[in-house]
Each structure stands twice: as C-alpha cells, then as structure tokens.
Chain A
Amino acid sequence: MNRVKVVFGHLSPPNTFKSHSGPVISGEQCKALSTGPDDIVVVHGVRTAIGKAKRGSFKDTTPDELLSSVMTAVLADVGLSPERLGDICVGNVLQPGAGALMARVALFLSGFPETVPVYVVNRMCSSGLQALFNVAGAIQMGCYDMGLACGVESMSLRNPGEPGDVSSRLMDNDKARDCIIPMGITSENVAERFGISREKQDKFAFSSQQKAIQAQKRGVFDQEICPVTTRFVDKDGLEHTVTVTKDDGIRPGTTLAGLTKLRAAFKPDGSTTAGNSSQVSDGAAAVLLGRRSAVEALSLPILGVLRASAVVGVPPDVMGIGPAYAIPVALKQAGLSVADIDVFEINEAFASQAVYCVEKLGIPLEKVNPNGGAIALGHPLGCTGARQVVTLLNELKRRGRRSFGVVSMCIGTGMGAAAVFEYPGV
C-alpha cells in the first residue's frame, strides 16, 4: 500500500470518507464481553412432563420419584458422574420443611453416592429459580465448581393451606395480614386496581393454550422432557405402570368463547377463573450449573450463561405484580433493556398479573411465553422456576442465534424474582 497516500488520507477533509457499509453488530450483545472463566453457566436442563394434580399422570407419584427422574437424566444426558457435584439444591413448597428428607431420599434413589450433599429451599413460586440462584452463588463464592439446581412439587399429594405458626399480632399489621390473602384474591386485586379486564385475561389465557398446543404438536417439549416411568391407579382401582412423556394440562379443545363463559372462581363478581389461572400440577425439573472454567475443562456443553438475578419485594395484596419490579432490576444488572431480550418466560400464576406485568414493562406479546405458560402447562409450585429456565434455554437454542432471555415469576406474600440468561449461540 502506498504509505504516502495513507498518511495524506489522515490530513484530508473528513467529507471524503466512505462510510462503513457492513452490518452493524449492535451494542445489545456486548454484555457477553465480560465472558470469563468465572461465569456461571448452565450446562443442561431437563424436566418431567407436568401432570394435572389429583387427576393427571403423576397423581400417584411421590415427589422424590419425580425428582430422582430429573436428577438422573440431567447427568446421564451429559455423561457427568454425580461425584462431580459440589451440592444439590432443591426448590419445594408443599412438603414438610420444603422436603429436606424427600430430597435426600431422591438422591439415594438416583444412585448418587452419600458423599454428595443436598438441601432444600422454599421461596414459594420462585423456589426452583431460587435453587438456581443458591447454587450459582455458591459456585461464585468458590464453594464448588459444579452443582445441581432442582425444583419439584406434588400438588396431588399435598395441599397448600397450613400456614404454620404465626403470631396473632399478624392481624394488627396491614402488610402482615395481607400475607394470608388467598392467591386468587390477590389476582382480583391486581385486576381491579390496575384495570385488567376479564376480556384481556381470557384472551391471554386462550393464547397460552394455543401456543402450548402448537409447541406440543411441533415436538418442542420433547427435547426438554425426560420420560418418567411410574405407577398410575385408574378409576377402577387397577394399578398400571406408565411412562409419562407429555404434559397433560394442555387443552386442545379450549375456545375463547368457552373461557368467557367460566364463572369467577374466587369472588362472585370477580374476573379470575379456573380458565385464566395457572393449573394445579405435579412435576420436577433439574438444571446443571457450573463455573465456566470447570465446565470447559470437563468438555461439557454450555447451554446458557446466567447474566443477572434479582428478587424484590412488592405489596403482598397485589403480589402478582412482582415480575414488573424484579425484571427491571435484573435487566439493569445485566446492562440490558427490554428491547435486548428475545424471550420472556413470565410465570402465568394468573392472567391478570401476567398481563399487568407485560403491559407495565412494554414487552411485545410475541416475546412472552412463546410455548405457553402455567395456564396451559400447569404450575407445580416448587418446580416452576427450574422448569421455566429449561424451557427458555431450549427455546433460545432452537432459534440458534446468540440472544438473551428472562425468567421471572411473582411470589406469594409479595415478591418477584427474575433472572437474565444468555444463550451463547452455536
């Protein structure tokens, strides 16, 4: 090259410059700049099918069996020996003490050695995500390199209800008293206070069903569901061994007209119905996490990178608005905006609160729960967070390109949790 020409170019007037014509890679992707050996990465995740509580596929299956299925499958899929696990954290809501005993039993049923520890966590509907936060935090702290975050719930065998021992002074404190408001009433509160019409809720519920039907038809969930072989007692009292591979809450017969006709479930003039609320369900999910350096040293795949995590408090009587407050905090941590996110997995505890959060944050509807949510699939409380992570990362992977996704949910007693994940691309 003619060096004189180049140097004279530096001294020429700027308007002679020919502008860069190539594709601009936007700044939206730059959080991955901080890719480093200490990143917390998701190696793999699986879930069971989700069964309708008390009637569905897992009505006779104990949670340790569900948990054992996903714990075993997630390691077997990537060929990792359980000895490598520094710890296991299991999210659970309804078992006594969040199922501390049940989780240890599940570990042994999975054939894991006694040297691998396990514990449980209960942050209600976010327990599965909280388990992931806990394992990520311990890895970041340097406690260990690889850990398993799980969530499990059998709502067939346990009912929410028993509040435990609380002071009678609870009634003297407005916020404390609001903590015992039934969840359906908090949904009515959100709908009333923020003007989320019955029509909007039903439309959202209908779309959740439609998306789930399509996803199931296309086999989208087959990649994330691990088959569970279990016992099932039919209506004649006969016991069968069944292998469950499909979510049974999805209702192909759902019509918008049908949803509109349903009666309000929580108060006579209300707008929250069985059709626009999450289903009561059984299920489990497991997510294998690791420090990037360790994951790479073991030649394991990287399905996602945890970029941010947040939990916030909101008024207990409108607990459903939690995601509207948690998501911005997590996005800020990640240095991203709503526009940078390709997929939002926002738990559909109720259509009212999901619609509120989506509208409040200005999220385009097509980015929300592209394969349906808890209204169609079900909401096994402790499992949900981990299940959403599995569904999200598989969806981003299916789309192929490097992108970001968010998992979020509201939490009873007034909280919201959110996490930002990056799918690193192929």
Chain B
Amino acid sequence: MKAFKFPARHGYSVEISPFIPTRLACATSQYYGIAGCGTLLVLEQTETGITLVKSLDWNDGLFDVTWSESNEHILVTGGGDGSLQVWDTANPQPRPLQVLKEHTQEVYSVDWSQTREENLVVSGSWDGTAKVWDPSCGGVSLCTLQGHEGVIYSTLWSPHIPGCFASASGDGTLRVWDVKSGRCRLAIPAHRAEVLSCDWCKYDQNVVVTGAVDCSLCVWDLRNVREPLSRLLGHSYAIRRVKFSPFNQTVLASCSYDFTVRFWDYSRREQPLLETLEHHSEFVCGLDFNLHIPNQVTYQGALLSSHLPRLVFDPRHCQHKLCISICSG
C-alpha cells in the first residue's frame, strides 16, 4: 500500500490514466470543497511510493476529473464555479487550454466518452442539467439535457452504447439519456434518497449500479427496472462513489462517508460483501480501478481532514492477510 499526502487540499475524485498505468489524476479542493481554490494533481506511482508530477491550480474547488481517451496529456475537470477546464499537462503554462462555462452552478461530474469515434465529454451540474461537449470544437456545448428535479452528482457514458449516458441525482432517480435525440430514455426511481453515484457494468450493457445516501447500492438491469437485481447493504453512511471492476462482470467497489471502501460481488446472493478496507480516517470520495493492473485499486479520502491521504492498494495482499487471519483465528 502506498500513500500520498498533499497539504491543504481535499481529494474529490481520482482517475487512473488510460494510457500510462502508473499515472493518476486527482481533483482536489481547499477547505473541504466548501470554499477556496482547487488543484488538479497529476501523480506518478513508483516502486516505493507516489510522487507529484504536476499540480495545476484553479480559482474554485475541483470536484471531478476525467482523462482524455485520445491524448495522454489532456484532462478535463469540473469546478465549483460552474465551468469545465480542459488541461494539457504537456503545456508549460499552468493554465487550462480552454474553459467551458455554461453551467450556472457547481459542476460535480465530468466523463470522457470511451466509445469509438466519439470524443465527447459529459458534465453534470448542481444546476440540474447535464451538458455534452466536444472539447475539440469550440467552447459551446453540443446539447443540454434537462429532466432531473434535483442536483446532478454523477454522469457516466455507457461503455457500450454510443451517445448514451447515465446520471445520478439528488432527486432520487437514475436516468439514462440518448444524446442523439436529446431525450431521457429511462428514469428509474432508484432510491428513496439522494443518489450520489452510478456506474455501468463493463460486460453487460444493460447493467448499472447506483449508490445513495440511504447507504445502499442497487444493481439494475435496465430491461426490467421494477426492482433491482441486487441490493447491497453494509455501508453505515452515504455512498459517495461506486465503480464496476473492469476485470470481473459482477465485482464492484464503493467508497463512503463511513470512511470505508468495500468490494462486492453482486452475483453472490448470500454474502455479496467481499471485503471492507478501513485505511482512511475521513470520508472517502474518490475511487478507481487500474485498467492496466488487475486488482489494483486507488482511492482517496477527503473532507474534514487537514490533509489528503491517498492510498494505492493491492487487494491481493489484503486477501492474503485475510487468509492468514482466518487460518490463525
């Protein structure tokens, strides 16, 4: 396990580069994200630890970050001032290449499309709208999708269906959008609570997971949304972020305000919780699987702490330890 600390910043989101297995980006904010500036950190994982490659400052808190899928140096962040920033880490100037300002309130999520022949970014904002952008052609959004009755916390492209993304909102719904028609295709009252995060299964285009303030995760089959495929209980506070494993169809990881990161296998009906990691002493906001290195998971804690603990953790070791403890127990 490796850790990295950066003074006076709190991590909100961590993403591993799709190009370089050891490269990480982290969106952070000052003063617990409630006021002050933000910093985009680009980090490199070495054999012994984690080193800072670059830090890029912005005048408001940064809440989410996404790597370009077409250029290893490009990143997009979403900020508290309602703008998106397009960054080029190869640019010697510590300023964004482009600032996309249309949202009227905090941009809480950004995601770069992974489907071929598309270089689109979707953003979700507390103004209740999602916007789709093509960072290569000007500073004007391609479309604005309205429908949520609350703030949007999470927007994520389907890894399978071009022009389709899911959004999680404070109105308790998960929505699925078709960018081509500009319409909401599906609105699922997923939780009787604010839904803070969602993610698509990487192996089944119809499966989506949601994580909510009601401490539960729900796995949905979009073809039949009357009830979830699985409801995963265990967290003791709101779930801040959830992600499906890129390596296993039914495995997912979630992090929570309860300071823990949990791994689940929703196909295991009796005991879906695989393990609980308690390496943080604060809310855990960001989480990512390493696409290049099976079993490597990165996550970060934030808020109400004076520093940013950052951990790169290999669950294989943990399982090993777990094994030993069972044996010795």
A interface, CB within 8 angstroms of B: 1, 3-4, 6-7, 9-12, 14, 17, 19-27, 29-37, 335-336
Contact = CB atoms under 8 A, between A and B. Distances in A.
Given A27-B186, A33-B186, A17 B213 contact: yes
Interface in B119-176: 126, 147, 149, 151, 158, 161-164, 170-173, 176
B189 interface: yes
Interface residues of B, number: 48
A10 B257 contact: yes
A20 B226 CA distance: 15
A10 B238 contact: yes
Interface in B170-184: 170-173, 176, 178, 180, 184
Nearest to A16: B193
Contacts of A4: 34
Given A30-B176, A33-B186, A3 B106 contact: yes
A175 B54 CA distance: 77
Nearest to B240: A10
B158 to A, nearest CB: 8
Interface stretch (B43-51, B67-75, B217-225): B217-225
A3 B105 contact: no
A31 B151 contact: no
B225 A17 contact: no
B172 A36 contact: no
12 contacts: A1-B151, A3-B35, A11-B257, A12-B213, A25-B184, A27-B225, A27-B226, A33-B158, A33-B185, A34-B161, A35-B164, A37-B162
B196 interface: yes
A34 B205 contact: yes
Nearest to B303: A7
Contacts of B158: 33
B106 A1 contact: yes
Contacts of A27: 186, 188, 222-226
B295 interface: no
Contact of A33 (B170, B176, B187, B192): B176
Contact of A22 (B187, B205, B214, B222): B187
B194 A17 contact: yes
B260 to A, nearest CB: 15
Contacts of B19: none
Contacts of A9: 170, 194, 213
